[in-house]
Structure 1
Amino acid sequence: KIKIKINPSAFVFCQVDPIQSMAKYYTINKDELLSSGQDKLKDIDLFFRNWSLTFQYTNMYTQIGCTADLITGIRAEELTPSGLKNLVCDIKPVTVSVRNYIIEAVTANMCGYKASESCLNRVRQFYSNRPLVVPAQRIESWVFPSAASSAGIKTTQNIPLSHVTDMCLLFPKDARHVTCYENPCYFDMQINTMNRNFPDFPMNTLNEQYFTMQLQANNLDNIFEACDEYEDSLATPRASKTRRYNPVSDYTSFFITIQCERNSNGALIFDGLDTQNQNTSIELKGHPIFAGEVDTYYNVDTNGKHPPPPILCTVHDTFWIFSPASGGSCLYDTTHSFDQVINQVTA
């Protein structure tokens, strides 16, 4: 039995590329257009020839309930009596909301090991008198107390750490953002806690070293590959020293993953950060690569809007322990490390 919990606030919307819409419209209505005269065909030709990537509309996913600059109208205006026309694109702020929704289908991809029946029987026999440990993870989110300024960010959160194996950083541009996070384009970014820096080097969220670190931290450097949108969010500058860039793809898949396990001769030791339920200071600092008006993180829009504080997510190792003793039992262990749990069940 599988239960699915859906957060309606996590829904997003995005305007379809007008070029693709027009191409599909032409393909579907080709015969009708060819028989209706040349005026419509000339307008379509004008559209393809004069469409400009400089049109400042939101070309990324936006959280439902938030506002995006969308194209609300495209038309050809006649400039001269001889028939010379100009392409006019109307762009206005639009807010999309959802009143209700219906889930019509759910798809899940599950991996299997193609184990034979004899293999499964041996597994059942092996665990008939031994506990079965199923590793799991628990994620907790903490909002930092202060937001970024025009000079960068330096903020501290005091929280307890319990076998934290990873820390993730999210940089919302709106307090309502749940899934849409963009690259803040920062350098000299690090977390300091328990007298250690994470990672070992100051991060530049646009350089190759950081890109490689993120692929490795999210297991996307071997069997699994990152999607184009995720790679774009890691590697695409949002501005230069003099101007902001209009996005040509979706850059809202950004987050920072920092591994916290100890590295011993190339192998991770699964102990994580643990403060024995005592609060510890976690400091985040960084500076914008593109300062001033071209800082697309601090300057959310041209109306003076600035982002809320960043979010810290801590990832904890937890374990489901199923035991056949006394008719069967199930324990959800959130207080012990990997080594401690394994030592308990193998003692």
Structure 2
Amino acid sequence: MPIRFRFSIPLDDILVFSGFTDYPNSLFGDLKIKFKINSNAFIFAQVNPIISMAKYYTMNKTDLMASGPDKLKNIDLLFRNWSLGYQYTKQFTQMGCTADLITKLSIEQITDSRLKNLMCSINPVTLSIKNYVVTEVTANMSGYKATDDCLQRVREFYANKPFVVPSQRVEAWSFPTSVTTTGIRTSQNIPLSHVTDLCLLFPKDSRSTTCYENPCYHNMQVTTCGRNFPDMLMNTLDQQFFQMQLNASNLDLLFETTDEFEDALTTPINTASRRLNPHTDLTSFMITLQCERNSNGALTFDGLDTNNQNVSVEFRGAPIYQCDTDCYYNVDLKGKRPPPPILCSIHDTFWLFGPANGGSCVYDVNNTFDEVISQIQG
């Protein structure tokens, strides 16, 4: 069944363009962006049937009242007997992956006294996108018109100096080994170039690109270049870890976290005795480790840099609860195991624009901020 929908991606939400402000396109030329949609990154979730039924009742109340009492009794039975304990997937699942969804709701008579019972059928369902077509692309960008005198001064200023836009680049690396029943201790040899942050993702499927859950681990730490990140061992469910993630994502002061992100960081999905069935979406989990210190507004890089030489990055941790209730090692009840964790390195990069030949652009991934600034000041 074909589905049409629209989605909006603001330009400054794209990491590599987050630093663009006051770009003088009349001097350096217009920007052109090529993009590719990853159909596997789309997600789906089942709407709570109670909410769906309530909306149906509200929209069709008049017709239902006129149709007789039977339909109203069935709706009332649904509301009264609905159980939060139904073991269907109540969070987002990535396209191409399998979720346990409600495939049938029925009202069945169970006794001769005409008593009725609510029956709920739950089955594994896999949704996939076979094909997609982009029918329209639009862009809304604000700007202002500059006078000829202003443009001339800008042109003179940048005649021999680049127009610098700070940016970031993400590289993803899978660790070579997966978790075991006792945890994980693994390392990856990678080059580090002006790295400001390290991120850890814990996929439960090799196709995961969007949905990641809390592994519920403790004694976690990353070690590289003779330094530990963070300084103390992490527990992904304690208050100190939550505050550290808010600080690393700049969500501790001016900006507030979303409910989904907060739930993913704070909601346990298992105990020592059983696995818990989430009642909200918990698939927005990631660990961000700051590699450079907060510099009180000073633009000074003190992150990780090995001049693009390989260095060992070691990751270790252990499950808070082992055996059957380990929700990361035991992906499902059929013996499925997760792929290795993913390490992402966040690098400082820069766009350097110049007016030569009608406009030139260089994406600088090799120089530090101080080296780039020296080109402007020199």
TM normalised by structure 1 equals 0.92
Match of 1:167 in 2: 198
Residue 80 of structure 1: how far off its partner (Å): 2.1
Do the aligned residues in 2 keep the contact of 1:168 with 1:257 (CA within 8 Å)? yes
Aligned length: 345
Residue 224 of structure 1: how far off its partner (Å): 2.6
Match of 1:284 among 304, 309, 315: 315
Output the CA distance in 2 between the equivalents of 1:217 and 1:104: 38
Match of 2:91 among 57, 60, 69: 60
Output the CA distance in 2 between the equivalents of 1:226 and 1:109: 26
Output the CA distance in 1 between the equivalents of 2:262 and 2:308: 37
Over 3 Å counting, the alpha-carbon distance change for 1:105 and 1:245 in structure 2 is: farther
Do the aligned residues in 1 keep the contact of 2:162 with 2:375 (CA within 8 Å)? no
Residue 344 of structure 1: how far off its partner (Å): 2.8
**Is the aligned partner of 1:293 residue 2:300?**
no
Match of 1:204 in 2: 235
**Is the aligned partner of 1:44 residue 2:85?**
no
**Is the aligned partner of 1:180 residue 2:211?**
yes
Match of 1:234 in 2: 265
What are the within-5 Å matches in structure 2 for residues 17-96 of structure 1?
17-96=48-127
Structure 2 SS opposite 1:221:
coil
Structure 2 SS opposite 1:223:
coil
Do the aligned residues in 1 keep the contact of 2:161 with 2:375 (CA within 8 Å)? no
Match of 2:17 in 1: none
Do the aligned residues in 2 keep the contact of 1:271 with 1:337 (CA within 8 Å)? no
What are the within-5 Å matches in structure 2 for residues 237-256 of structure 1?
237-256=268-287
Do the aligned residues in 2 keep the contact of 1:144 with 1:311 (CA within 8 Å)? yes
Output the CA distance in 2 between the equivalents of 1:222 and 1:106: 35
**Is the aligned partner of 1:137 residue 2:203?**
no
**Greater displacement, 293-302 / 332-341:** 332-341
Do the aligned residues in 2 keep the contact of 1:187 with 1:286 (CA within 8 Å)? yes
Over 3 Å counting, the alpha-carbon distance change for 1:15 and 1:120 in structure 2 is: farther
Residue 253 of structure 1: how far off its partner (Å): 0.8
Match of 1:311 in 2: 342
Output the CA distance in 2 between the equivalents of 1:292 and 1:176: 25
What are the within-5 Å matches in structure 2 for residues 105-144 of structure 1?
117=146, 121=151, 123=154, 126-144=157-175
Structure 2 SS opposite 1:269:
coil
Do the aligned residues in 1 keep the contact of 2:330 with 2:336 (CA within 8 Å)? yes
Deviations 1:199-240 (A, max 9, x none): 112111111111111122112223332211111111100011
Consecutive unaligned residues in structure 2, runs of 5 or more: 1-31
Deviations 1:176-214 (A, max 9, x none): 111010011111111000111011121111111111111
Do the aligned residues in 2 keep the contact of 1:262 with 1:269 (CA within 8 Å)? no
Deviations 1:1-41 (A, max 9, x none): 33332111111111111111111111122112111111111
Match of 1:153 in 2: 184
Output the CA distance in 1 between the equivalents of 2:221 and 2:348: 23
Output the CA distance in 2 between the equivalents of 1:246 and 1:201: 31
Across the aligned residues of Structure 1 and Structure 2, the Cα RMSD in angstroms comes to: 2.2
Deviations 1:117-161 (A, max 9, x none): 479656555434432111111111100000011111111111111
**Greater displacement, 231-240 / 99-108:** 99-108
**Greater displacement, 122-131 / 249-258:** 122-131
Over 3 Å counting, the alpha-carbon distance change for 1:108 and 1:69 in structure 2 is: farther
The amino acid that maps onto 2:198 is: M
**Greater displacement, 20-29 / 97-106:** 97-106
Residue 278 of structure 1: how far off its partner (Å): 1.7
**Greater displacement, 60-69 / 99-108:** 99-108
- Percent identical: 62
Deviations 1:61-106 (A, max 9, x none): 1111111100001112222222322211100011111111233566
Over 3 Å counting, the alpha-carbon distance change for 1:116 and 1:98 in structure 2 is: closer
Output the CA distance in 2 between the equivalents of 1:35 and 1:134: 65
